[in-house]
Amino acid sequence: MQKIVMVILLVSILAACATSNVENEEDERDHVEGEVNTLVHANNQLAFDLLAEISNDTADNVFLSPASLYIALSLVYNGADGETKSEMDELLGFKEVNQLNQSNQSFYQQLMNEKSGITLQIANSIWLNDEFQFQRDFQDSMNEFYEAEISEVDIADPSTTDLINNWVKENTEGRIEEIVEGPLDPEIVTFLINAIYLDAAWQHAFDSNSTHTSEFHLLDNSTKEVEMMMQVEQFDYLEQSDFQGIVLPYGDGQMSMQIFLPKEGIDDFDEKFTLEKWESWQHDFQKEDVQVMLPAFEVEFEATLNEALEDLGMTTAFNEHANFSKLVKETDEVYISEIKQKTFLLVDEEGTEAAGATSVEMSTTSMPGNGPSVMEINRPFFLVIIDEQTDAILFTGKITEPPARSK
């Protein structure tokens, strides 16, 4: 009888331990999911804030990769301290560098899950002036959380420019050929670079036989001829008094392009196109038969982001008050001299190809009726490309005049 009691007690103890382990695993998953959600929200806020800042200064096409910028800034954040770090806390949504690093690692793992019909590549590289040495903690974090390729280079050597640009070209499948221009300033301490590349097939491809020449209405009320693709299919669709929205999925629906088409001027819609509004619209889309007409086009975009990021609160990082004392051993007089982003976008009958590279240069001192709804994208529009699993915005843009695709 005593043996039976002991067996029962042992089983009870094992059961309690198993339950405890399951609960701990669930708590850990919930914690990780919460941290990733914090990162995604900060990334998406950056997407809308940055688009507003850049598009306010130009009437031309704008195409950005907030995800590429967010990751590049995360690399930099590991070297920041003091007021500079506090300003980046607000922008990146974290106050602890380890939390940010672990969240980026978990986000990357979710983002890189195999997706049918979709190729997504993300890579990081760091190019260090060989007269300097990284702080040990900084270098360890770059290896552990970001799988960054770290190279020590002679900044004065003209071949260094080619090394960096060739890395960017290779990791964007040739779509971005150059991110830095030589000769390089000998005061440069390091380049921290993120590259992102996407090649995604539409879930519902456009039939090239339906592509036709049509007019696109420009901001100055003139028109230009574009190649207009067309199809009728069931899509998530939204119509309000001042705009139409549509979700065009890629692959098995793991990623998508969302297009928002103002009915009147795009400038009046600018102020409405915010993260809060965008998040609320996600609940309003409904499955509906839609005849969608979308230009085939190709865009290349380049911007220096220093001023925009200063306007968003990252003020000390770009001047002599910067504190990047956790970056290199030799000096704490390091600041960001330039943040540059180049992007590429091709939209055609088969799908979408998009690429982005971000370089941080651091130096020292619904419609009624029986038929389908009609959405003719023949005037300036907004777009976002999102990962459906995490809701993260990888690319965003405002297209005012779609350039013809290269043949």
List, for residues 309-365, the tens digit of each pLDDT value.
999 999 999 998 999 999 999 776 899 999 999 999 999 999 999 999 999 999 987
In a domain, 167, yes or no: yes
**Tokens of residue 218, six digits:** 């420009």
In a domain, 9, yes or no: no
Tens digits of residue pLDDT in 255-270? 999 999 999 878 888 8
In a domain, 16, yes or no: no
Confidence of residue 20 (pLDDT cuts 50, 70, 90): low
Mean pLDDT to the nearest integer, 100-112:
96
Do residues 128 and 150 make contact, with C-beta atoms less than 8 angstroms apart? Answer: yes
Asked which of 1-10, 84-93, 361-370 is least confident by mean pLDDT, the reply is: 1-10
Domain of 288 in residue numbering reads as 28-407
Angle at 152 between CA 150 and CA 158, to 5 degrees: 120
pLDDT tops 50 at residue 100: yes
**Structure confidence at residue 58 (pLDDT):** 85
pLDDT tops 80 at residue 21: no
**Structure confidence at residue 163 (pLDDT):** 97
**Structure confidence at residue 371 (pLDDT):** 78
Tens digits of residue pLDDT in 237-294? 999 999 999 999 999 999 999 999 999 878 888 889 999 999 999 999 999 999 999 9
Sign of the dihedral defined by the CA atoms of residues 62, 67, 72, 74, in that order: positive
In a domain, 391, yes or no: yes
Burial class (CB within 10 angstroms; exposed 0-12, middle 13-18, buried 19+) of 372: middle
In a domain, 11, yes or no: no
CATH code of 302's domain: 3.30.497.10
In a domain, 131, yes or no: yes
**Structure confidence at residue 406 (pLDDT):** 85
**Structure confidence at residue 11 (pLDDT):** 44
**Structure confidence at residue 31 (pLDDT):** 60
Rounded to 10 deg, the angle between the 2-55 and 97-111 helix axes is 90
Mean pLDDT to the nearest integer, 128-141:
95
**Tokens of residue 106, six digits:** 């978990």
Phi, psi of 23 (to 5 degrees): -65, -40
Mean pLDDT to the nearest integer, 68-73:
98
Number of compact structural domains in the chain: 1
| Helix or strand holding residue 6 (H, E) | helix 2-55
Do residues 77 and 91 make contact, with C-beta atoms less than 8 angstroms apart? Answer: no
d(CA 109, CA 118): 15
pLDDT tops 70 at residue 40: yes
In a domain, 12, yes or no: no
pTM > 0.85: yes or no: yes
Alpha-helical runs (H) found in 239-340: 266-270, 275-281, 306-311
The rounded mean pLDDT for the chain is 91
Angle at 252 between CA 250 and CA 256, to 5 degrees: 30
Please name the amino acid found at residue 56: N
In a domain, 10, yes or no: no
Mean pLDDT to the nearest integer, 43-62:
94
